[in-house]
Amino acid sequence: MRDVFGKVAVVTGGGQGIGRALTERFCAEGMKVVVADIVPHLVESTTGEMSDKGFDVTGVVTDVTSLESVEALRDAALERYGAVHLICNNAGIGSGSEGQIWEHHVNDWRWSLDVNVMGVVNGINAFVPTMLAQDEEGHVVNTTSSNGGFTPLINSAVYATTKAAVTTITECLWGQLREVGAKVSASLLYPSTTSPGMLNTGIWRPGANRPDRYARPGAPPKEGRDALGVYLKRMEKAGMEVQFAPLSEVADICFQGIVNDTFWITAPNAQQQQKIRDRSTSQIDMSPPAYLLQANMMTSRPTEMNK
């Protein structure tokens, strides 16, 4: 999909964070973009700002946990533009689970699996048949994470599990599209940047916008838990400066991955590459996954991991 000008992109979770950055990049490339998000005011603000800049955008409030809602998103895109060439299944949440894995409430699992995994499945089911029937070049991008997509952080079992699932789903999708000789391809987006720093996205607000059907005792408030504030205090206590990388770089990497048909869309990272090697070695040697116990500042006990 090298020629993107005038083509139609649909981005779930497009109202903020990485989804918003993707929307901006695709617009800058001359694409028509459908912004999908479960939060109405984010849909309105993003589409309004993009429209004011002269870009051709449409907003659709969408719940990716519902196949019917995602199908309605597809139908709205087709009604407005007549085709869909790029679907970015980007919507994702941090469940706000607490404690050890055996203490996580089942509704934390249900919500995360429904959004992060079934949201991707619904996107594939709703859009891929249409894209294949168009018989034009197209692309599916599923947003995963190095946390789970490569190796998990053991203190975020729910999130890492969902992103591992997205990775496997997309591998199978890529293989099956190749097997049938489709003009549509697929990629995995690992949000990353060439500049050093963290990514400030909605994932730092775990539990935000949690529907009532996934309620549990002691759940984070509707605005989510301030995980970023906790992390910044931990880093400050350790005397370590926190940098934030621009989300536009994630969008840049994603766009180049699409036009180059790159499956593993990620910025090279020596530390992560070593973890991948350690994991592969552990699997081949059938040795314990000791690489999981390396100290990291994402856990609440960063200095105890090697004890």
pLDDT, one tens digit per residue, over 108-126 is: 999 999 999 999 999 999 9
What are the structure tokens assigned to 124, written together? Answer: 């594939």
CA–CA separation, 29 and 74 (whole Å): 22
For residue 61, pLDDT over 80 is answered with yes
The reported pTM is: 0.93
Give me the residue spans of the domains in the chain. 8-268, 270-307
What are the structure tokens assigned to 48, written together? Answer: 């309004």
- Share above pLDDT 70 across residues of the chain, in percent, rounded to a whole number: 96
* β-bridge pairing 264-265 and 86-89: unpaired
235: buried, middle or exposed (CB in 10 Å: 19+, 13-18, 0-12)?
middle
Count Cα neighbours of 124 within 13 Å in the Cβ-side half-sphere.
21
CA proximity to 200, closest of 245, 266, 255: 245
State the pLDDT at residue 233: 82
CA–CA separation, 285 and 279 (whole Å): 10
Q: Tell me if 24 sits within 8 A of 9, measured CB to CB.
A: no
* β-bridge pairing 57-61 and 138-143: unpaired
Please give the class, per CATH, of domain 8-268. Answer: alpha beta
Residue-wise pLDDT for 141-171, tens only, equals: 999 999 999 999 999 999 999 999 999 999 9
Sorted by sequence, the CB contacts under 8 Å of residue 159 that are 6+ apart come out as 94, 95, 112, 116, 145, 147, 148, 203
For residue 227, pLDDT over 90 is answered with no
Site of tokens 């005038």: 6
- Known catalytic residues are 159
Residue 304: pLDDT band by 50, 70, 90 thresholds? Answer: very low
Mutual orientation of helices 17-28 and 40-52 as an angle, nearest 10°? 20
State the pLDDT at residue 299: 59
State the pLDDT at residue 305: 41
Across residues 232-241, what is the average pLDDT?
80
Site of tokens 């910025």: 267
CA–CA separation, 48 and 57 (whole Å): 9
What are the structure tokens assigned to 40, written together? Answer: 């109405």
For residue 302, pLDDT over 60 is answered with no
CA angle 303, 204, 208 (to 5 degrees): 135
CA–CA separation, 69 and 87 (whole Å): 15
What are the structure tokens assigned to 231, written together? Answer: 């992390």
Residue 301: pLDDT band by 50, 70, 90 thresholds? Answer: low
